[in-house]
Amino acid sequence: MSNRTTMTEFLLLGFSDIWELQILHFVVFLVIYLAALMGNLLIIAAVALSHNLHTPMYFFLMNLAILDLSSISVTIPKSMANSLWNTRSISYAGCIAQVFLFVFFAAANIALLTLMAYDRYVAICQPLHYERVMNSRACVQMAAGAWISGMLYSILHTGNTFRLPFCQSNVINQFFCEIPQLLKLLCSDSYYSEVRILGFSVCLLLSCFALIIVSYIQIFTTVLRIPSKQGQHKAFSTCLPHLIVISLLFCTGTFVHLKPTSNSTSGLDLMLTVLYAVVPPMMNPVIYSMRNKEIKAALRRLTVWKLFTKNKMPVFLPSP
């Protein structure tokens, strides 16, 4: 009989055994989480409340902000709580939920980034067909497809991982339940079954990345033929931030899932996981809004409106 039936909890990696460093980890993650929370909520509010931002590009950006906010909320709060209360445990059911939600949001995120690249390709390379191809119905169907595909992939991947027996220890060398680290705990006869599925997942990931790269090659080729320097600047300003986000996410995520886990230190695993699981949700609002005049204008209008409604005092007329 496997130990899977008797396992009730896992032990997550602690950043340090020193109390002061645990508090430092809590504060750093709290700052990152609040920054991601505020940035993504501002993008969601700006797009939802600004009529001039009701376009395919900003519709996909709002969905990306929702996914980023959901993704970082799966991993960071539990790690912060463990550091604050000086514990490392996570229940078996909690680990399943963490794996399912993280894979769900990550897979939907990758599908959405691919759609955003396609949106920019049609807008720049086929502008005359943009309104017909990227109409509101098509955008809703594409976004729904990204969310549904992420959920189906997560159900398949999570179910296949936790149906296998865990014969090793229950210590996960990561600050959340991550599949590459869970693979270390599987029985030897089940390990290669899951590795094959993980390899298939990486192939899908690389296929999405290849589609994005091909789209951007076409985009940059078209942009360089634009005679107007202002037109080139506008096209590059909307495409380069997207490419930066994709490169960070795909490169670190692919390396984490492809490298031999037994040949790398836990410190390297931790750093790479933070780069693809924590940094992008915090940086995406900054990257997408830093050089985007429409987003900055919408945020200014939103701030002014909030201040106006906050400072607006009711006027009471004296009764005769």
Tally of domains in the chain = 1
Handedness of CA 42, 48, 53, 59 (dihedral sign): positive
Q: Is 308 a member of any domain?
A: no
CATH code for position 13: 1.20.1070.10
Q: Is 1 a member of any domain?
A: no
Contacts of 189 (CB under 8 A, 6+ apart): none
Q: Which domain holds residue 162?
A: 9-296
What is the distance between the alpha carbons of residues 102 and 178, in angstroms, rounded to a whole number? 9
Determine which helix (DSSP H) or strand (DSSP E) holds 33, and give its type and residue range. Answer: helix 19-49
Q: Is 307 a member of any domain?
A: no
Structure confidence by residue, pLDDT tens digits, 78-137: 999 988 888 888 999 999 999 999 999 999 999 999 999 899 899 888 889 999 999 999
Per-residue exposure over 282-305, b if at least 16 CB sit within 10 Å of its own CB, e if not: bbbbebbbeebebbeebbeebeee
Q: Is 21 a member of any domain?
A: yes
Q: Is 71 a member of any domain?
A: yes
The type of residue at 191 is Y
- Asked which of 111-115, 154-158, 229-233 is least confident by mean pLDDT, the reply is 229-233
> Mean per-residue pLDDT for 278-307?
75
For residue 171, list its beta bridge partners.
11
Q: Is 177 a member of any domain?
A: yes
Structure confidence by residue, pLDDT tens digits, 157-202: 888 888 877 876 788 888 899 887 887 787 765 556 666 666 777 7
Q: Is 318 a member of any domain?
A: no
Q: Is 313 a member of any domain?
A: no
